[in-house]
């Protein structure tokens, strides 16, 4: 089945993906031919570093042949409709993974294909990132015993994180300025699985947290809002005094790229308890888990 949003999963599958990612990371050689002979498409409408490289390498290490498709070659929505792109690629591929601006394009393509479609990032969600995030948190502490604090924009990363974390039994605290809260329906859905609190007070959010997470204040496509957002988020930087209000063994998480001096200080991202590069590595193992779950 397709993975367009965390809501496409249930709690059991979220936990299964996290555990499978950990297993693949520990015993990667056992999976080198697990999906031999399969072909997948990796479609990129937006810039990418971690997603592009981790997904390409993950596919190859499972025996899959990945095809990287750039939007300047495809013209999604200009040269061809999303539906026609989907119907053509469906004839060639066992799975299509896509990084797009508009979540509606993913939905249109998914409706036109029989092969599963995986969201590598859209304006609504970033589900693959959330599985890697939970893998990283689980390496620090059992998920059902954990509290995670997210500080900053209630964006696509935040949406996927709070819903996936809640499904895995993690307690979630979110601190955002007024007007930048995560979508109410996502918060409500997450609240059906675990405790989810949204506040405008970063100190309240991080108190007693096992992990403190942040993301950029202005994502790709929001560059013209960067100056305004920097003013609105000026009190939401994860600096050392804020980080130290979390538990003494708390870890710091960031999906990267990071704007040091904006959403996070240099001291925190380089802190001994920063796990941002473990988190980046886990994009590789978590995508392997998703491919194995979808195609195995």
Q: Of 45, 105, 110, 126, which one is the catalytic site residue?
A: 126
Q: Is 129 a catalytic residue?
A: yes
Q: How many other C-beta atoms are found inside a 10 Å radius of the C-beta of residue 49?
A: 10
Q: Is 91 a catalytic residue?
A: no
Classified by CATH at the fold level, domain 6-126+283-295 comes out as Rossmann fold (3.40.50)
Q: Of 55, 128, 158, 255, which one is the catalytic site residue?
A: 255
- Which residue, among 73, 180, 55, has the nearest Cα to 128 in the 3D structure? 55
Domain regions of the chain by residue span: 6-126+283-295, 140-274
How far apart CA 157 and CA 212 sit, in angstroms, is: 14
Q: Of 193, 271, 275, 283, which one is the catalytic site residue?
A: 283
Q: Do domains 6-126+283-295 and 140-274 have the same CATH topology?
A: yes
Q: Of 45, 129, 237, 279, which one is the catalytic site residue?
A: 129
Dig out the tokens for 241 from the structure: 């005094």
For the segment 95-108, what is each residue's pLDDT rounded down to a tens digit?
Answer: 999 999 999 999 99
Q: Is 16 a catalytic residue?
A: no
Q: Of 38, 99, 254, 285, which one is the catalytic site residue?
A: 99
Q: Is 215 a catalytic residue?
A: yes
Q: Is 126 a catalytic residue?
A: yes
Architecture of the domain delimited by 140-274: 3-Layer(aba) Sandwich (3.40)
Confidence of residue 219 (pLDDT cuts 50, 70, 90): confident
Q: Measured between alpha carbons, how far is residue 23 from residues 122, 209, 256, 286 in Å?
A: 28, 26, 24, 10
pLDDT at 63 over 90: yes
- Residues pairing with 271 in the sheet: none
Longest dimension (CA), the chain: 54
For the segment 64-118, what is each residue's pLDDT rounded down to a tens digit?
Answer: 999 999 988 888 888 899 999 999 999 999 999 999 999 999 999 999 999 999 9
Q: Is 103 a catalytic residue?
A: no
How far apart CA 107 and CA 139 sit, in angstroms, is: 33
């Amino acid at each position: 089945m397709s993975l367009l949003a965390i809501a496409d999963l249930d709690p059991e599958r979220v936990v299964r993906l996290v555990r499978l990612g950990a297993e693949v990371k520990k015993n990667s050689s056992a999976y080198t031919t697990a999906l031999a002979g399969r072909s997948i498409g990796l479609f990129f409408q937006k810039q990418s570093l971690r997603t592009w490289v981790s997904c390409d390498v993950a596919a190859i290490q499972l025996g899959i042949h990945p095809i990287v498709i750039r939007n300047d070659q495809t013209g999604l929505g200009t040269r061809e409709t999303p539906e026609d792109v989907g119907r053509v690629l469906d004839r060639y591929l066992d799975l299509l993974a896509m990084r797009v601006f508009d979540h509606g394009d993913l939905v249109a393509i998914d409706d036109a294909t029989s092969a599963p479609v995986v969201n590598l990032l859209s304006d609504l969600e970033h589900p693959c990132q959330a599985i890697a995030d939970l893998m990283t948190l689980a390496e620090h502490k059992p998920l059902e015993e954990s509290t995670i604090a997210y500080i900053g924009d209630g964006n696509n990363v935040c949406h996927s994180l709070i819903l996936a974390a809640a499904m895995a039994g993690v307690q979630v605290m979110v601190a955002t300025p007024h007007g930048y809260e995560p979508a109410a329906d996502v918060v409500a859905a997450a609240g059906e699985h675990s405790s989810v609190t949204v506040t405008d007070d970063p100190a309240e959010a991080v108190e007693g947290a096992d992990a403190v997470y942040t993301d950029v204040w202005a994502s790709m496509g929001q560059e013209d809002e960067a100056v305004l957002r920097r003013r609105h988020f000026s009190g939401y930087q994860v600096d050392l005094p804020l980080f130290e209000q979390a538990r003494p063994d708390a870890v710091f998480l960031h999906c990267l790229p990071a704007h040091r001096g904006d959403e996070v200080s240099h001291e925190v991202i380089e802190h001994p308890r920063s796990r941002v590069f473990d988190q980046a590595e886990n994009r590789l193992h978590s995508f392997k888990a998703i491919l194995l779950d979808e195609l195995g």
